Amino acid sequence: MALPLDGLLVVSCEQAVAAPLATRHLADLGARVIKIEREGSGDFARDYDETVHGMSSHFVWLNRSKESVTLDLKSDDGRATMLRLLDRADVFVQNFAPGAAERLGLGAAALRERYPRLVTCSISGYGSSGPYRDAKAYDLLIQSEAGLVSITGTEDAPAKSGIPAADIGAGMYAFSGILSALYERERTGQGTDLEVSLFDSLVEWMGYPLYYAGYGGTAPKRTGTSHAAIAPYGTFSAGDGTDVVLSIQNEREWATFCEVVLGRPEVATDPRFASGRARVENRPDLHAEIDTVFTGLTGDELVARLVEARIAHARQREVGEVLEHPQLAARDRWTEVGSPVGPLRALRPPITVAGRTARMDPVPAVGEHTDAVLAWLDER
């Protein structure tokens, strides 16, 4: 059976993470994605590292199921070919530096006039206006400007997110925005222009800390894996060193936790811990009470008690352990994709379409499809 976006043509002048993530999700759902790259080196994310048999881990993650075409967009021939592609396209995505698309004749206003049904999506660091418009916008810089670094880490030291949170946020908003614009086009026959910035996306994700600081007067404290407003919440260790993460959300769970897991129901009514606010204010004493019990248990014994009490919990796994996670194995989430360096292990798309086989086409080499795509354009 066809996937939902079969027949849709996406042309993307993309690099790094945000735009490639958006278009890879479109490709996962069946869209044909033609990735425009620089002649020679291509997308600079190809060179971030060489850990995947010589290929970049970022590039392998973000670029399966795409066709790579190299064009010199500063040349007359390159721009002419680009316009021929857009003549057939449904969606155009770009994450050029601010103003570059306009200088190349690929700005949203110019394209809207020429291709009224085209959905255009511009992804930038800070948006098309404002004093930060032209600022460099690497993920760490956006995490810092948006305040994420200030609330991540421990009390002693802030930290950035371990994944490119700003890029991922922008990529996902671009993906969902494009889908909404395509739905609107089905009703109106007209495309639209979308603008997504990494900064706006991450500030949106900072909603709870912003409200907390704006109305509470102070920002949430950095608490490692703990939570500024909930306790007990975070990582605790069993006696054998197994790390288990707890998340107790209400008073009923708290009482059950004390009775079944700790075996000390009186702790639930201790004035220091009798309310959510009291537990947060007395977190060191709370952790001491919990650690006294947990250090006498193995990881398996602790998990068994948590399961019996139906307390929300998780194992704090290292990345290598996630590769062999039993949930992924049980649901057959791993498969293979082709690449210039041979078959690679890959996760199936997170969106499962009932009755359809997930699209898992190869990761392209730089310019691998240039000749084929040019020949296809000449067929018309």
Q: Which positions are catalytic?
A: 227
* 269, 324 contact by CB (below 8 A): no
End-to-end CA distance of the chain: 27
Q: Which of 214, 203, 225 is nearest to 144 (CA)?
A: 203
b/e per residue, 269-303, with b = 16+ CB within 10 A? Answer: ebeebeebeebbebbeebbebbeebbeebebeebb
Other Cβ atoms within 10 Å of 168 Cβ, number: 19
Q: How far apart are CA 160 and CA 45, in angstroms?
A: 20
Q: Which of 85, 77, 94 is nearest to 372 (CA)?
A: 85
* 206, 148 contact by CB (below 8 A): yes
